[in-house]
């Protein structure tokens, strides 16, 4: 898989930390899909998964709340995380949007898994 995308050479090697997973919660599938489609169309993510109907329990303004939300799981290049966070915050319906990003340091090095990580960074 030797190709260039976004000015970055694709050598086929994976460097730990080159890819990241970002987690975002939204109030519903409509807002989750809007954010997911925007991330993909702006090439800020390689793949986005939407997990509907999670339960979130949290404290807000001194009160414990329990709400049904959607979880967005985003696979991206670590170099795009800052721009991704900005996009999510601009397009999120909550006044305080949760965006947690984690670099992918270790991955199962099987042909298929490694191919997926090449897909993300290339």
Q: What is the pLDDT of residues 29-61, one digit of tens each?
A: 999 999 999 999 999 999 999 999 999 999 999
Q: In this structure, is residue 33 part of a structural domain?
A: yes
pLDDT for position 58: 94
Domains held by the chain: number? 1
Residue indicated by tokens 């987690």 = 23
58-72 per-residue burial string, b: 16 or more CB within 10 A, e: under 16: eeeeeeeeeeebbbb
The residue range of the domain holding 75 is 17-108
Q: Is the pLDDT of residue 119 over 70?
A: no
* 121 assigned to some structural domain: no
Confidence of residue 104 (pLDDT cuts 50, 70, 90): confident
CATH of the domain at 98: 3.30.70.120
Establish if 3 belongs to a structural domain.
Answer: no
The answer to whether position 117 is within a domain reads: no
What integer best gives the mean pLDDT of the chain?
A: 86
């Amino acid at each position: 898989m030797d190709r260039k995308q976004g000015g970055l050479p694709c050598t086929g090697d994976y460097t730990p930390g080159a890819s990241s997973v970002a987690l975002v919660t939204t109030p519903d599938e409509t807002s989750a899909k809007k954010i997911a489609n925007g991330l993909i169309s702006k090439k800020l993510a390689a793949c986005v998964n939407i997990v509907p109907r999670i339960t979130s329990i949290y404290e807000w303004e001194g009160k414990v709340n329990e709400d049904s939300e959607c979880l967005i799981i985003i696979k991206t290049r670590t170099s795009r995380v800052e721009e991704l966070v900005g996009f999510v915050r601009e397009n999120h319906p909550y006044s305080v949007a949760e965006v947690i990003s984690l670099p992918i340091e270790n991955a199962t090095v099987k042909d298929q898994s490694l191919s997926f990580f090449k897909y993300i960074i290339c």
